[in-house]
Structure 1
Amino acid sequence: MFKIIDLNTLGLGQEFPENIYFVLRGWMDSNNIIIKGDPNVIIDTSYCKSEKETESIFSFCGMKPDDLDMIVNTHNHADHTGGNNKLQLLSGAKIAMHEYDAHYVNLWDESGLNLDFSDWELPKFSVDNILTDGDILSFPPFDFKVIHSPGHSGGNIVLYDSKYEPLLSGETILNGDFGSVHCFREGNRALFDLRDSIKRLAQLPIRLILPAHGGPITNPQKCIDDCLRRINILIKEPIKMGYHFIRRWFIHAVLIRGEMEREKLFSHVSEIENFYAINKRYIKINNKDLFNEIVDDFIERGVLVDRDNRLSVINP
Structure 2
Amino acid sequence: MKLPESIQVIERGWLSSNNVVLHARTGAVVVDSGYGAHVPQTLALLERVVAEKKLSRLVNTHCHSDHMGGNAAIRAKYGCRTSIPEGEAALIDDWDEQALILAIADQSAERFSYDDTFRDGDTLQMGGYDWQVIAAPGHDTHAVIFHSPDARVLISGDALWENGFGVVFPQLFGRDTALAETRATLEAIGRLEVDVVIPGHGRPFGDAGAALERAFYRLEGYEEDITRLARHCAKVMLSFALLEKRSMPLAELPAYVARVPILAELNSRYLRMTPAAMADWLVNELERAGAARRNDGRLHATGS
User: What's the TM-score bracket when you normalise by the shorter of the two chains?
Assistant: over 0.9
| Contiguous gaps of at least 5 residues in structure 1 | 1-11
Q: What is the alpha-carbon distance in structure 1 between the residues aligned to residue 214 and residue 288 of structure 2?
A: 25
Quote the offset at 1:154 in angstroms.
1.1
Amino acid at match of 2:156: S
Matched residue count? 302
Amino acid at match of 2:164: D
Residue-by-residue CA offset, 1:15-38 (whole Å, 9 max, x unaligned): 532121111102211000011222
Partner of 1:269: 257
Residues 153, 186 of structure 1: 8 Å contact kept: no
Amino acid at match of 1:309: G
Q: Cα 1:315–1:237, aligned 2, differ >3 Å: closer, same or farther?
A: same
1:169 aligns with 2:169: no
Q: What is the alpha-carbon distance in structure 2 between the residues aligned to residue 201 and residue 85 of structure 1?
A: 31
Partner of 2:140: 153
Residues 247, 298 of structure 2: 8 Å contact kept: yes
Partner of 1:134: 121
Partner of 1:196: 184
TM-score by length of 1: 0.91
Quote the offset at 1:52 in angstroms.
0.9
Match of 1:307 among 290, 295, 304: 295
Match of 2:273 among 276, 285, 288: 285
Amino acid at match of 2:6: N
Quote the offset at 1:227 in angstroms.
0.6
| Contiguous gaps of at least 5 residues in structure 2 | none
1:18 aligns with 2:5: yes
* Structure 1 segment 162-241 matched on structure 2, within 5 A: 162-182=149-169, 183-185=171-173, 187-241=175-229
Partner of 1:112: 99
Secondary structure of 1:69 counterpart: strand
Partner of 1:70: 57
Amino acid at match of 2:209: Q
Quote the offset at 1:220 in angstroms.
0.5
Secondary structure of 1:60 counterpart: helix
Q: What is the alpha-carbon distance in structure 2 between the residues aligned to residue 185 and residue 125 of structure 1?
A: 26
Secondary structure of 1:216 counterpart: coil
Secondary structure of 2:103 counterpart: coil
Q: What is the alpha-carbon distance in structure 2 between the residues aligned to residue 260 and residue 283 of structure 1?
A: 22
Residue-by-residue CA offset, 1:195-221 (whole Å, 9 max, x unaligned): 111111111111111100111121101
Q: Which has the higher contact order (CA 8 A, sep 6+)?
A: 2
Residues 76, 101 of structure 1: 8 Å contact kept: yes
1:251 aligns with 2:239: yes
Quote the offset at 1:41 in angstroms.
0.6
Quote the offset at 1:186 in angstroms.
5.9
TM-score by length of 2: 0.94
Residue-by-residue CA offset, 1:26-63 (whole Å, 9 max, x unaligned): 22110000112223110000001111111111243242
Q: What is the alpha-carbon distance in structure 1 between the residues aligned to residue 161 and residue 196 of structure 2?
A: 12
Q: What is the alpha-carbon distance in structure 1 between the residues aligned to residue 204 and residue 194 of structure 2?
A: 12
Question: Superposition RMSD on alpha carbons, in Å?
Answer: 1.6
Q: What is the alpha-carbon distance in structure 2 between the residues aligned to residue 241 and residue 28 of structure 1?
A: 20
Match of 1:97 among 79, 84, 97: 84
Q: What is the alpha-carbon distance in structure 1 between the residues aligned to residue 72 and residue 50 of structure 2?
A: 22
Q: What is the alpha-carbon distance in structure 2 between the residues aligned to residue 224 and residue 39 of structure 1?
A: 33
Q: Cα 1:202–1:191, aligned 2, differ >3 Å: closer, same or farther?
A: same
Secondary structure of 2:259 counterpart: coil
Partner of 2:33: 45
Residue-by-residue CA offset, 1:253-299 (whole Å, 9 max, x unaligned): 11222322102233223211211111222222223212211102222
Q: Cα 1:63–1:307, aligned 2, differ >3 Å: closer, same or farther?
A: same
Q: What is the alpha-carbon distance in structure 1 between the residues aligned to residue 229 and residue 153 of structure 2?
A: 29
Q: Cα 1:194–1:129, aligned 2, differ >3 Å: closer, same or farther?
A: same
Q: Cα 1:92–1:315, aligned 2, differ >3 Å: closer, same or farther?
A: closer
Q: Cα 1:56–1:224, aligned 2, differ >3 Å: closer, same or farther?
A: same
Q: Larger deviation: 259-268 or 143-152?
A: 259-268
Q: Cα 1:199–1:232, aligned 2, differ >3 Å: closer, same or farther?
A: same
Residues 3, 196 of structure 2: 8 Å contact kept: no
Secondary structure of 1:25 counterpart: coil
Q: What is the alpha-carbon distance in structure 2 between the residues aligned to residue 132 and residue 102 of structure 1?
A: 11
Secondary structure of 1:54 counterpart: helix
Runs of 4+ in 1 over 4 A off after TM superposition: none
